[in-house]
Chain A
Amino acid sequence: MDALLAAGFWALVLTTAGIYAIFVLGLQLEVGDAGLVNFGHVGFFAIGAYAAGLMLREGVPIPLAVLGAVAAGAAAGILLGLPTLRLRADYFAITTIAAGEIVRIVVENEPETTGGTNGLRGASGGWPDVSRDVLDFFSGIGLDLDRRVPLLALVWISAALLVAVLAWLGRTPWRRALRAVREDEDAAAAVGKPVLVYKLQAMALGSGIAALAGVYWAFLSTTIYPENFEPIVTFIGFGILILGGMGSYLGTAIGAVVIGFIVAGTRFLDFPLAADKVASLRYVAIGLIIMLVMIFRPQGLLGKKEELHLDA
């Protein structure tokens, strides 16, 4: 278990957790605030990763590529939302899971553009250079950091900013209307709220945020593969959502660290088990956590308990 003592290990685990945190903040907005059970969230994560990767490979400046990827994710969210948001919740969920898979399968089958199953190399573009410059600057002032720290910082600063913005939005009339739509579309419409507009906005924001997580994933991995974007990623996201608590942005961040540790951290620990068994055990552990949360703290770590029992 020496890995637990290495700075690099924690940097990697926490970066992964931070990416998950951002990913799930998008999900929180859709599921927690707008009531849109989106099982295809990973699709927007993939769109962000590939959009950024493709642009960065073409030499697009990093800030522009980030913005472009987020915009692509948001646009894709609207595109998916337009035909599907009129569906009832259960049909919406089914359609989104298919949509997420469509993204992955398209990526897999367009090897000329995306590298297909061989992966998209150099998806982080000029980021490693920027990261190195940052590290050089800090070693210049006598601080030798692990090579993953710049991305770690970038990811968590982004996550913190997102939490702040979402928490701020949470106190606005906009979110009240959004929650009204979640609670009862007809009641919201009866007092003049344009239901579809609110749902589309939630989809666009949530998907844009997922795309941002995808960009950071590309930064972290450098080479991205379609297999990074399987449906399980969405469900890990839901696990984080349940653990952290519905409606709590801070809870999402905490849940992401716990689940992120299980998903990414256990990779580097020495278990007296074959690797594939460890991989399966990870999901067993996440499943167990979800069950325990459901039994002992159904509102999640920071969710509001009183809201859980209020079904009008």
Chain B
Amino acid sequence: MEGLAKRFGGLKAVDGAGFAVRRGSITALIGPNGAGKTTAFNLITGFLRPDAGRVRLGEEDVTGRRPDRIARAGMVRTFQLTRVLGKLKVLDNVVLAAPDQPGERLGAALLRPRGWRPRERALREEAMALLAEVGIADKADDYAATLSGGQRKLLELARALMARPALVLLDEPMAGVNPTLGRRLLAYLETLRAERGLTILFVEHDMEVVMGISDEVIVMAEGRVIVQGPPDLVRKDRRVIDAYLGAEPAGAG
């Protein structure tokens, strides 16, 4: 993406931010509160229309497309404040995300059950496997609303992966998840990248996690990208330290 901008009234939430996420990388997006990370996510995934700038996925320009189209194109997100479908069973939450269920079309659902029944069975197995991977398989038949905050994070992750994304955007995937499970999740994400070539962009506040897993770190502050680079370089960057400590941006002060 490049030159993305979004203002809410007089507030420039994202102000000409631009960064690239390398295919097959694990990239962290960090920055102090109000830096525009979540807004950037919303702009990239179509939940907000940018006032300026472009979003590209590979060669494809997806700027301003509807969120469901962008998800289908391969960029799938999770939400910082989880959005599980409470009155659906946990398993159904995951199966729902499958991109290739012909039974989701009204005509086929009604008239061609043979077209979707076997697919449904396969998808349920796949979804069960994903739930097992994120560690909530025993909850599969519960209503999603009965899950705890951390479990909802895990469900959202499973749901996003079920959509078979090329790039997942995870908004604070570890928040509220217990540390042991969190570490297992990280390992799982690395496996996914290795096996499926999945690209991961995530927002996270836990610096240990960020520095430990990321190939690249993007730092945003006040709606702009101030640094992008490998964790070691970012960690030592003066501008990053200033941004976090609330000093004047380098150059201005």
Contacts and interface: CB of A to CB of B under 8 A. Distances in A.
Q: Do A and B share a complex? A: yes
Interface of A: 165, 168-169, 172-177, 179-180, 183-184, 186-195, 201, 306-307, 310-312
A180 B45 contact: no
A169 B97 CA distance: 19
Interface residues of B, number: 44
13 contacts: A165-B110, A169-B110, A172-B110, A172-B116, A176-B95, A179-B87, A187-B83, A188-B68, A189-B46, A190-B83, A194-B69, A310-B143, A310-B145
A311 B120 CA distance: 27
Given A176-B92, A191-B71, A186 B85 contact: no
B88 A179 contact: yes
Contact of B68 (A165, A194, A310): A194
A192 B76 contact: yes
Interface in B94-117: 95-97, 99, 101, 103-106, 108-110, 113, 116
B19 interface: no
B98 to A, nearest CB: 8
Query: Interface centre among A173, A184, A193, A312, by most B CB within 10 Å?
Result: A173
A186 B103 contact: no
Contacts of A311: 86, 145
Given A173-B101, A189-B68, A193-B68, A183 B106 contact: no
B108 to A, nearest CB: 8
B139 interface: no
Given A174-B104, A193-B104, A201-B106, 14 more contacts: A168-B110, A175-B109, A176-B95, A176-B104, A179-B85, A188-B68, A188-B85, A188-B96, A189-B47, A189-B71, A190-B83, A192-B71, A312-B83, A312-B86
B146 A310 contact: yes
B109 A173 contact: yes
A173 to B, nearest CB: 4
A217 to B, nearest CB: 26
B104 A183 contact: no
Interface string B64-91: 0011110110001111000111111000
B17 interface: no
Contacts of A168: 110
Given A173-B103, A193-B68, A183 B160 contact: no
Nearest to A193: B68
Interface string B184-197: 00000000000000
A173 B118 CA distance: 12
A187 B78 CA distance: 8
Interface in B37-81: 45-47, 66-69, 71-72, 76-79
